[in-house]
Chain A
């Protein structure tokens, strides 16, 4: 049997079984079912990976059926393993397995246990469809599917109205992006007559379309990526998405789904290479997103909100890399980010679990003595994201910075600032949570406990991955050869990545700057939050800090620009148009019909004789018409 079918089908089977008869199954069975489907998919992918390693040009495809066949347009439900999709599949199934294991412990006491696992499996299925599809159509199906799962899982505890609101917000914001993607796909069909990746690439190489059209298509695709990957201006849904259970935040809103935008751009890199304007646009959007999100993250007090803004910021980093044309680097940061952000989120979940569902870091503190494993793994995650030398995040972020330095010097300065902010908000959160003294008066410190094995085990695995993840793509100055990932992706990258034009000495200076930034952030936050025992206050901050605390009023801005006018318009339509135009019109039609009906009633009085007479008259008229006309 085709392994693609198995890899795709297993999560689907898990979803169906858990979704249909999950309630009747014991929790252990339904949980293990959820885990095992993903685990087997992971093992299968790994075995495929070994085939890829041994065979340079190995690829495997699966054509299920022809979806649509009109005129010259043929849309097929087909899937393909190539080096990019298998890399993504490894991340999705690998981290997916760990998070499923974690979820089993985390969600054990929840009523919706089966529902949760069926949704998670369905998500994995859709995500795999997204990355394995060999054309835009399959990507779009997966794209919408993960959006749906995201909506379902954000609103998982739907009895809380604000969670439902957050889910709707995420769904609607994603729709805006999806519209861009859809329009981009229509343009692709219009220009190339196909949605196949290969067909599109071939069409571009044959110069079938103009540069302007390429820019338009790439911009529209990027709008799609913007929505899914939470970039300015469509990022506000992601922090609100933290309403969902924490494993969901880790899997969907940090490690996998939000990287779909990155994947889309790497997949269609040819397009973006040919559209320099779009690349530049992506660069600046990514840069401003990373700084804005980091600034907001500085002032957040909800442990998951901080991580959410951090995710937005890190996604901005990836888009910056894409804007520079450094696709390998973006994929590298995507991978390491998946490791350490999943670790951080799961760690946060463990903390929340330990302090009885309290998420405010102001009400934590001193947790390190009570939760040693969580503490150490969380520390590794924090160090990895802030760029502690030789941890995974250090290499990937450094690579991005180097590319940016080559690309644009001002951009480099801003990126360094953003990296500094990353260090500050992460250490702030870390110190406030784990150091100092415990501050919650409603939940005694004695009851704080370490999480069970099922939760700490994935943490440990992810911590190890975060530690050594950098080995996937060691920089050239250390090993004097290109990294594993760079070699891996080279065959599918259509253009040669620009070799570093800068000398090794400059690189060492850049590394020095990066380490300096890390140390500055560490020392600053340590002196403020550990030595001085500073705790964020409740009262309103003023000035710039106030803006940061209130997320720069972006939500309010969107409210004023989009929601209020729309509401006003609906008010006008509802109060004036409806009552003065629509109702009179429809009631008028109604009354006319009623009157006609009343007239008709005189004819239809139920008397058979009259009916007979009418019938005879009718027949006479018909024959008469036939005769004389």
Chain B
């Protein structure tokens, strides 16, 4: 399997994950549905995960520190998704909406 990396350098992975990250960011800014916002955040996190895995390969690190970080990011993402979804359900229960444009009570 090593053979396929003969011509591959780290910058290609960098471009890929930057594009993914930016797409996620665009979604966060553009969409109004809170659940879709959360999904876009997951997308951004995955872009970072991909880059970390690529860097592990790039460094040739036998301890795989980058992959470790991917694990912990996954942990945080899972926890975040659980709490975030609970909050969205709660908000929906109280306002019958999941549209973040209407959640402007911060100004009061």
Contacts and interface: CB of A to CB of B under 8 A. Distances in A.
A608 B32 CA distance: 10
B105 A609 contact: no
Interface in B1-43: 25, 28-29, 32
B29 A606 contact: no
A573 interface: no
Interface string A602-619: 001111110011001000
Nearest to B26: A616
B29 A612 contact: yes
Contacts of B29: 609, 612-613, 616
A455 B35 CA distance: 91
Contacts of A612: 28-29
Interface stretch (B54-62, B74-82, B96-104): B96-104
B-side interface mostly: helix
A608 B100 contact: yes
B107 interface: yes
A416 to B, nearest CB: 87
Interface in A432-483: none
A605 B28 CA distance: 19
A63 to B, nearest CB: 62
B107 A604 contact: yes
B95 to A, nearest CB: 14
A-side interface mostly: helix
Nearest to B106: A606
Nearest to B30: A609
B108 A606 contact: yes
Nearest to A608: B100
Contact of A606 (B25, B28, B32, B104): B104
B107 A608 contact: no
Contacts of B101: 607, 609
A609 B106 contact: no
A607 B104 contact: yes
B25 A605 contact: no
A607 B105 CA distance: 8
Interface in A588-609: 604-609
Nearest to B25: A616
A607 B102 CA distance: 8
A32 B106 CA distance: 67
Nearest to B107: A606
B21 to A, nearest CB: 12
A80 B29 CA distance: 80
B34 to A, nearest CB: 9
A616 B107 CA distance: 20
Nearest to A601: B107
B106 A608 contact: yes
A606 B28 CA distance: 17
Contacts of B103: 608
A616 B28 CA distance: 10
A606 B100 CA distance: 11
Contacts of A616: 25, 29
Contacts of A608: 100, 103-104, 106
A606 B103 CA distance: 8
Contact of A605 (B32, B100, B104): B104
Contacts of A607: 101, 104
A612 B104 CA distance: 13
Contacts of B100: 608-609
Nearest to A604: B107
Nearest to B102: A607
A612 B28 CA distance: 8
A245 B55 CA distance: 90
Contacts of A609: 29, 32, 100-101
A605 B104 CA distance: 7
Contacts of B32: 609
Contacts of A604: 107
A151 to B, nearest CB: 52
Contacts of A605: 104, 107
Nearest to B32: A609
20 contacts: A605-B104, A605-B107, A606-B105, A606-B106, A606-B107, A606-B108, A607-B101, A607-B104, A608-B100, A608-B103, A608-B104, A608-B106, A609-B29, A609-B32, A609-B100, A612-B28, A612-B29, A613-B29, A616-B25, A616-B29
Shortest 5 CB-CB distances between A and B: which pairs? A606-B107, A606-B104, A606-B106, A608-B100, A607-B104
